[in-house]
Amino acid sequence: MSYHFTSEAVDDQVVTDVTNLNRFDDEGFSELMTLLFEFLVDPQESSKLISNLEEFAGNRGVGANALKNLVRSILFVFKLSLKKNVSPTHLKDDLKQLGLGEEKATHVSSLWKANYVGLSRTAVAQTLNVNQLVDMEWRFGVTSGSSDMRKVGSTFLQVKFVIDRGSGTENIYMEFTLPQFYSFLHEMEKAKTSLEYFS
């Protein structure tokens, strides 16, 4: 089978979990999807999602582990769909192929369409958070001795950038002469102005 949200084969567990969503009555399914879309639009509230899912599981008599698997699988589908910019119609088709009933797939498709701007904004924000500058340290120095007499007395600046790569942080070290540093600073101020203009 081919899907719009991925070009790879889909794990059988994902198919089983999506099919198991049919077991919820319409009200329970709608409540679960609302919780998931609220999380997708504002992923900073992950602790809120966890507590809401625990409450949902208790109210609906669903096992916490079973619900966790269902949520993990449907979020997997949603996140890949968002990454591939899947339309609501194509998402509906994919969910039906995965075993979700027509009415439930239509409900998800309408939620997808209604929340698409917020979902896209969140995806862009998460993308921009990778390679984010976390910390910076600098040291100013003057060369006091060198085999090259012309370098004695010259100033330099050593900079350590700590960058968040998404999977961890990385330290990047640079050394600038004073004119190089001022040029770098000028470029950073231009970038800051551009970012402020677009935000």
The tens digit of pLDDT for each residue in 35-88 reads 999 988 887 777 788 888 889 999 988 888 889 889 999 999 998 898 888 999
- Measured CA to CA, the distance from residue 83 to residue 91 in angstroms comes to 12
| pLDDT surpasses 70 at 99 | yes
Average pLDDT estimate for 80-104: 92
Average pLDDT estimate for 102-106: 95
pTM higher than the cut 0.75: no
Q: Do 182 and 165 contact (CB within 8 A), yes or no?
A: no
Confidence tier at 144 by pLDDT (50, 70, 90): confident
pLDDT for res 134:
86
pLDDT for res 29:
94
pLDDT for res 169:
87
pLDDT for res 147:
76
Averaged pLDDT of the chain: 86
Confidence tier at 197 by pLDDT (50, 70, 90): low
- Measured CA to CA, the distance from residue 32 to residue 3 in angstroms comes to 23
Which SS3 state, helix, strand or coil, does residue 147 take?
coil
Average pLDDT estimate for 93-104: 94
- Measured CA to CA, the distance from residue 64 to residue 60 in angstroms comes to 10
- Measured CA to CA, the distance from residue 3 to residue 29 in angstroms comes to 23
